[in-house]
């Protein structure tokens, strides 16, 4: 027990893995997806995972695009006296 308490990253990873397994086991139903002219069937957890990935990559791609760059002042240079 103290092995897991001394390693919080391992403990958190195992807890998230257990939650992921529970999530997958509870969302194994097939569902019909209709997108534009395409129609196909997939598992619910696969669809949720794909939407999560698309949202992650969209956020990663457009990070900082909506920040007004002229409002950001540059950090002072500490090496001006050298």
The 10s digit of each residue's pLDDT in 15-69 is 888 988 888 788 888 889 888 898 989 888 888 888 888 888 888 887 776 666 6
Q: pLDDT tens digits for 13-27?
A: 888 889 888 887 888
CA distances from 35 to 10, 22, 41, 64 (A): 40, 28, 11, 30
Distance CA 33, CA 56 (A): 21
């Amino acid at each position: 027990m103290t092995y897991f308490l001394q390693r919080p990253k391992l403990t958190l990873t195992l807890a998230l893995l257990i939650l992921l397994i529970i999530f997958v086991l509870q969302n194994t139903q097939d569902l019909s997806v209709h997108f534009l002219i395409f129609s196909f069937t997939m598992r619910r957890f696969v669809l949720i995972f794909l939407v999560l990935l698309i949202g992650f990559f969209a956020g990663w791609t457009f990070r900082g695009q909506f920040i007004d760059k002229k409002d950001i002042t540059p950090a002072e240079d500490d090496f001006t006296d050298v």
